[in-house]
Structure 1
Amino acid sequence: MKLNRIFKSKNFLLSVLLFFGSCRFLGIGSIPLEELKSKYANENSKFIRIDDVDLHYRDEGKGPVIVLLHGVCSSLHTWDVWAEKLKSKYRVIRLDLPGHGLTGIGKDLNGLELPQGVRTLDRFLNALKIDRFYLVGNSMGGYISWNYSLKHPEKVLKLVLIDSVGYAQPLPPMIALASHPLVSPFAKHVLPKFMIEKSVEQVYGDKNKVTQELKDRYADLSMREGNRTAYNYFFVMARQKFTNAELSEGIDKIRQPTMVMWGTEDEWLKYEYFGNWKKSLPKAAFRVYEGAGHIPMEEIPEVTVKDLENFIASE
């Protein structure tokens, strides 16, 4: 009888482990914040209350300030190599935007609106008493960056946009699927790991550089409580605005020295639309990375960070 109880208890425990394991594979439920912190926060991680969100950020190095903004479904970890190489000369500040990484979301989902992202960034930098800096943004972070530069031109010394949202174009496949009216109600609760992994492969030009560790990071952070709801909110917002010509209003009014970087194999924001930036910003510097995808600062960090440093140093 005792052996039977032990056997049953082991089977029960195994069933529980399999159940929660499958939940994580299917993207159901959440990974506790403390568990995520133990894996994805480090000695440089800090948290600051901005509005009703505990915003996760890292502030490293000394010197002129560089602020780095990641894209949708990403986190401040996308800048790891850049930060390591820059912090000997610069003060490098990067953050998990609301609904991403370890930051999570507030009570009001309207706080995720992209114009609100400009306000959140400004409140964050004011709290750190930073009023002059170089601003770099990728994808959604690029959209926030160039809009921030228009609203606060006196604060941004130079602007760098990496495969940035800016011009109307077709939706990326994952966003088109997740934002579909029949899928969207479920996507805020269920985001299978295989879909996250497929998306990571899509944003890299060289698929051989996509490691399991990289896939795990993106998948794990998507399961921080509130993040899937935020992703879904951004996807639905993209469906509403991504194909609207008004998306690019103001780009031609950017006055800061600007550099635009792009990967030729970007599957999310196609290289064929890169020419629009040259038309709107004829005085900007442009860098094209043959074979790179949507996040060249993560895929080929050594090349891209050198271009950043040269741009900052230029007159």
Structure 2
Amino acid sequence: MPKAPVGGIELYYEEAGSGYPLIFCHEFAGDLRSWEPQVRYFSRRYRVITYNARGYPPSDVPNDVSAYSQVQAVEDLVGLMRHLHLDRAHLVGLSMGGYAVLHFGLNYPHLARSLVVAGCGYGSVSEDRAKFQQDVEQTARRIERNGMQDMAAMYSRGPTRVQFSDKDPRGWQEFAEQLAEHSAVGSAMTFRGVQGQRPSVYELEDRMRQLNVPTLIVTGDEDEPCLEPGMFMKRAIPTAGLVVIPRSGHTINLEEPDAFNRAISDFLTAVEAGKWGPRNPASLSQSAILPPDEDP
């Protein structure tokens, strides 16, 4: 069972295929198994690496909430790359993994060939921030009190998950069953230490404006907590593009795997061809009609 020693713990990881390294970072409700449609597709062309974050067996599950944070999630990813002797990689993250990829790009841009930040931004809107943190603590307590079966039954029916259930009941059921298998301790600690404490994407504006790594933002159009943050990231990051997948929620890589894979594949192809640069400043005219040099 391959494990990487990082930050005093060990992370379980898997590899498939060969070629340029492509790392996938999972969401809170998933683990490396939730990337299976992407592993099967991209391992035909890339060296695909998936891993379980700390708190997700068979990775180690620290019992102290101080072992979990947004900073630590990024350092774990760096540690995994060092263990695998990777100088650079393409990185793809969904939700919690999207936050990790975004912060990785901000802190270690020299290690990133490209960034895919999907389903990212939940809990960022200022007027919803207090409610978000209240929900985080309430959910963590529920996990500790009732266990993962109860948590999975609740969480998998959330307002950004019902789209998956409506479209693909069998795929959604597998997602819910895998969620129920997660560690209650690891899930509660992750909720408190990572989700509950991570900064809003709006707080990162100045840093994002300096980011020059090719970036793709992906969101479902019914993933309400992530729609506005997705638009914000697109406008703040000079090298960012935005894909919005219609009639879709949060679990977009499983809910719409073909559209998700195609968008990422097209993005990676453009990056590798040297065709994904900063936004043309002429597209930022104050006028919808006049070029910037003719706008009075």
| Offset at residue 99 of structure 1 (A) | 1.2
Q: Which runs of 5+ in 1 are unaligned?
A: 1-44
How does 1:122-133 map onto structure 2 within 5 Å? 122-133=78-89
Matching residue's letter, 1:145? V
User: Contact 2:94–2:118 at 8 Å: present in 1 too?
Assistant: yes
For 1:82, which of 23, 38, 46 is the aligned residue? Answer: 38
User: Contact 1:166–1:248 at 8 Å: present in 2 too?
Assistant: no
Q: Which residue of 2 aligns with 1:220?
A: 181
User: Contact 1:167–1:247 at 8 Å: present in 2 too?
Assistant: no
- Report the CA distance shift for 1:187/1:249 in structure 2 as closer, same or farther (over 3 A): farther
Supply the distance in 2 between the matched residues of 1:79 and 1:140 (Cα, whole angstroms).
14
Supply the distance in 2 between the matched residues of 1:54 and 1:297 (Cα, whole angstroms).
26
TM-score by length of structure 2 reads 0.79
In structure 2, the residue corresponding to 1:92 is in which secondary structure? strand
Which deviates further from its counterpart, 214-223 or 114-123?
A: 214-223
Which deviates further from its counterpart, 205-214 or 69-78?
A: 205-214
Matching residue's letter, 1:272? E
| Offset at residue 207 of structure 1 (A) | 2.1
Supply the distance in 2 between the matched residues of 1:172 and 1:194 (Cα, whole angstroms).
24
For 2:190, which of 214, 217, 231 is the aligned residue? Answer: 231
How does 1:26-45 map onto structure 2 within 5 Å? none
How many matched pairs?
264
User: Contact 2:2–2:12 at 8 Å: present in 1 too?
Assistant: yes
Correspondence 1:207 to 2:165: yes
For 2:227, which of 266, 271, 282 is the aligned residue? Answer: 271
For 1:168, which of 121, 124, 134 is the aligned residue? Answer: 124
In structure 2, the residue corresponding to 1:292 is in which secondary structure? coil
TM-score by length of structure 1 reads 0.74
For 1:262, which of 171, 194, 219 is the aligned residue? Answer: 219
Percent identity (aligned): 21
For 1:119, which of 70, 75, 78 is the aligned residue? Answer: 75
Supply the distance in 2 between the matched residues of 1:86 and 1:290 (Cα, whole angstroms).
23
Correspondence 1:177 to 2:135: yes
**Whose radius of gyration is greater, 1 or 2?**
1
- Report the CA distance shift for 1:279/1:83 in structure 2 as closer, same or farther (over 3 A): same
In structure 2, the residue corresponding to 1:259 is in which secondary structure? strand
| Offset at residue 306 of structure 1 (A) | 1.2
User: Contact 1:73–1:222 at 8 Å: present in 2 too?
Assistant: no
Matching residue's letter, 1:217? Q
User: Contact 1:167–1:245 at 8 Å: present in 2 too?
Assistant: no
- Report the CA distance shift for 1:173/1:78 in structure 2 as closer, same or farther (over 3 A): farther
Supply the distance in 2 between the matched residues of 1:244 and 1:132 (Cα, whole angstroms).
24
- Report the CA distance shift for 1:249/1:104 in structure 2 as closer, same or farther (over 3 A): farther
Q: Which residue of 2 aligns with 1:303?
A: 259
Supply the distance in 1 between the matched residues of 2:36 and 2:124 (Cα, whole angstroms).
30
User: Contact 1:257–1:284 at 8 Å: present in 2 too?
Assistant: yes
- Report the CA distance shift for 1:254/1:94 in structure 2 as closer, same or farther (over 3 A): same
| Offset at residue 64 of structure 1 (A) | 0.7
In structure 1, the residue corresponding to 2:38 is in which secondary structure? helix
Matching residue's letter, 1:177? D
Q: Which residue of 1 aligns with 2:250?
A: 294
How does 1:67-106 map onto structure 2 within 5 Å? 67-106=23-62
- Report the CA distance shift for 1:309/1:125 in structure 2 as closer, same or farther (over 3 A): same
